[in-house]
Chain A
Amino acid sequence: MDQEQGDEAGGDGETEPPRDELPDFETYAAVRWPRLLRTAYLLTNGDHHEAEDLVQVTLAKIYLRWSHIRTLDAPDQYVRRALINNNTTRQRKRRVVQLLTPHLPEQRNPIGDADRPDSYDTRSELFDALATLPPRQRAIVVLRYWECLSEQQTAHLLGCSVGTVKSQASRALKKLRSSAVLSEYAAVMTRGE
């Protein structure tokens, strides 16, 4: 049900958006673009190209149903849901992931500033840790702890129960805590405060 709504935005009752709706959609999408891109960036484990592609596809589907979506009370929620569902679909369809890079990834600096972990390392490890999460758990982490949605909002957006959100969030945090740099970072930041 939810998958259908978000992923196949534009599936049922798809009509050609009137030309005069394009400026309206453009205004909406241009304002939301940076935020959506950052959300997608977290959902795609820091892959900028993948994130941009994901948001573009999502907005293209939204554009096809804009005449309906613009009348909704909470179009943002619909768009977020479409983004998450599209990401899930992409992950499901992808069979082989190939990351071609001309450089070897930089090693973590073992003699860096002990009090302040290197931000590159931290980000890198954060994305590594996020990559270990299943798409749904990752979406819950992003929605709850970055978008700051409530458990009810997250549950409504993902089309699941609040209990599911709680349990999935708990499991996701448990996994993230097992990442060394995240534990260190949390400890350092707590000391700094």
Chain B
Amino acid sequence: MKPDLSPQPPKPHLRRLLDEAVTDCVPPAFPREGIVRRAAAIRRRRRLTAVTVAALLLIPVAGKLALDQGAPSSPTVSSADTPTPVSSASSETGDAPSPVRVVRPGERIDVGLGMWYLLKEREYCPKHQLDPEPSCVGPLDVDQPGVPMTLDWYPFPQGVVSVFAYTGKTPATRITMTQHGRTTLLPIVRLPGRPSFVSSYAISTPVSEKERKRLIRPVDGPVFRVYGADGAELAEMRQ
């Protein structure tokens, strides 16, 4: 390989040709004002771009913050923030009480996977995507015989949605879902002034396609347990 002998021009003919070519180019006076003006324009444009990008990035965040602040718009007092839908993938909890959300009768409670429900004085009404209207379960009463729990479950390919209500004489303070050895804390949703009529919801792991299509009760479905303030188990129901 030949060593580079620069700065000796390696192709003198080409150099001469290029030199001749640029003789046509007679530089005008140095455009000081033009350069400063263009620099100012570039600076303005960059700042505008930065502001626009920042605004575009911040608008969704601000919107989410505003929505979060506006969410507990219920005139009733809530003792906890809006609980988020809990899935089986949530972390396990100790003996912490469930987050409580107090809703008005008829207020929509989003569960996930397109499902939602509402609470009435003595009913809870889940709404499936395919149903034209919520289908109500009730009337529920503290004097009803048997297990004071009523549960509806809806299998989807992404998971099984469970919506249930507890109507016991002892108020519930903690509701859990246990599946595959993992216990998940669920939220409590209730009406104002009705501590003994509470509802909850969860999304558990999907069932097999056969179980889903035939609506067969899953073999290893989750178990829901309701506890009182003293930690005693008040009710248990399997999906």
CB distance B6 to A63 under 8 Å? no
Give the shortest distance, in Å, between A59 (CB) and chain B (any CB): 5
Contacting residue for A122 out of B10, B20, B30, CB 8 A: B20
- Any chain A CB within 8 A of the CB of B43? yes
Give the CA-CA distance A22 to B43 in the complex, in Å.
16
CB distance B42 to A10 under 8 Å? yes
- Residues in chain A near residue B10, CB distance under 8 A: 144-145
Give the CA-CA distance A153 to B7 in the complex, in Å.
10
Give the CA-CA distance A113 to B9 in the complex, in Å.
28
CB distance B11 to A173 under 8 Å? yes
Given A48-B25, A185-B13, A30 contacting B34 (CB threshold 8 A): no
Contacting residue for B46 out of A11, A52, A59, A185, CB 8 A: A11
CB distance B38 to A60 under 8 Å? yes
Main secondary structure of the interface of B (DSSP, over half): helix
Interface-facing stretch out of A37-45, A73-81, A87-95, A99-107:
A37-45
CB distance A148 to B14 under 8 Å? no
Given A60-B38, A144-B10, A150-B6, A41 contacting B43 (CB threshold 8 A): no
Given A33-B30, A148-B6, A150-B6, A189 contacting B13 (CB threshold 8 A): yes
Give the CA-CA distance A37 to B34 in the complex, in Å.
15
Give the CA-CA distance A11 to B42 in the complex, in Å.
10
Give the shortest distance, in Å, between A144 (CB) and chain B (any CB): 7
Q: Interface digits, A20-56 against B, CB 8 Å rule (1 contact, 0 not)?
A: 0010001001100110011001100010100110001
- Any chain A CB within 8 A of the CB of B35? yes
Given A33-B30, A150-B4, A64 contacting B42 (CB threshold 8 A): yes
- Residues in chain A near residue B20, CB distance under 8 A: 119, 122-123
- Any chain A CB within 8 A of the CB of B22? yes
- Residues in chain B near residue A133, CB distance under 8 A: none
- From 57 to 72 in chain B, residues with beta carbon under 8 angstroms from any chain A beta carbon are none
CB distance B32 to A30 under 8 Å? yes
Q: Interface digits, B127-154 against A, CB 8 Å rule (1 contact, 0 not)?
A: 0000000000000000000000000000
Q: Interface digits, B194-223 against A, CB 8 Å rule (1 contact, 0 not)?
A: 000000000000000000000000000000
- Any chain A CB within 8 A of the CB of B54? no
Give the CA-CA distance A48 to B26 in the complex, in Å.
9
Give the CA-CA distance A111 to B35 in the complex, in Å.
46
**Which of A26, A123, A189 has the most C-beta atoms of chain B within 10 angstroms of its own C-beta?**
A123
Contacting residue for A152 out of B4, B32, B34, B35, CB 8 A: B4
CB distance B27 to A146 under 8 Å? no
Contacting residue for A142 out of B18, B28, B41, CB 8 A: B18
Give the shortest distance, in Å, between A60 (CB) and chain B (any CB): 4
Query: Which chain A residue shows the least CB distance to B7?
Result: A148
Given A42-B21, A123-B24, A145-B9, A56 contacting B14 (CB threshold 8 A): no
- Residues in chain A near residue B96, CB distance under 8 A: none
Given A29-B30, A30-B30, A33-B27, A146 contacting B19 (CB threshold 8 A): yes
Give the CA-CA distance A10 to B31 in the complex, in Å.
20
CB distance B25 to A51 under 8 Å? yes
CB distance A61 to B42 under 8 Å? yes
- Any chain B CB within 8 A of the CB of A131? no
Give the CA-CA distance A46 to B7 in the complex, in Å.
25
CB distance B38 to A182 under 8 Å? no
Give the shortest distance, in Å, between B232 (CB) and chain A (any CB): 63
Can you list 9 pairs linking A and B with CB atoms under 8 Å apart?
Answer: A41-B22, A52-B28, A56-B38, A64-B43, A122-B20, A145-B10, A148-B15, A153-B6, A189-B16
A33-B27, A126-B17 given; name 19 further pairs at CB < 8 Å. Answer: A10-B42, A10-B43, A38-B27, A41-B21, A46-B21, A56-B34, A59-B35, A60-B38, A60-B39, A60-B41, A61-B42, A64-B39, A146-B19, A146-B22, A148-B8, A148-B15, A150-B6, A182-B14, A190-B13
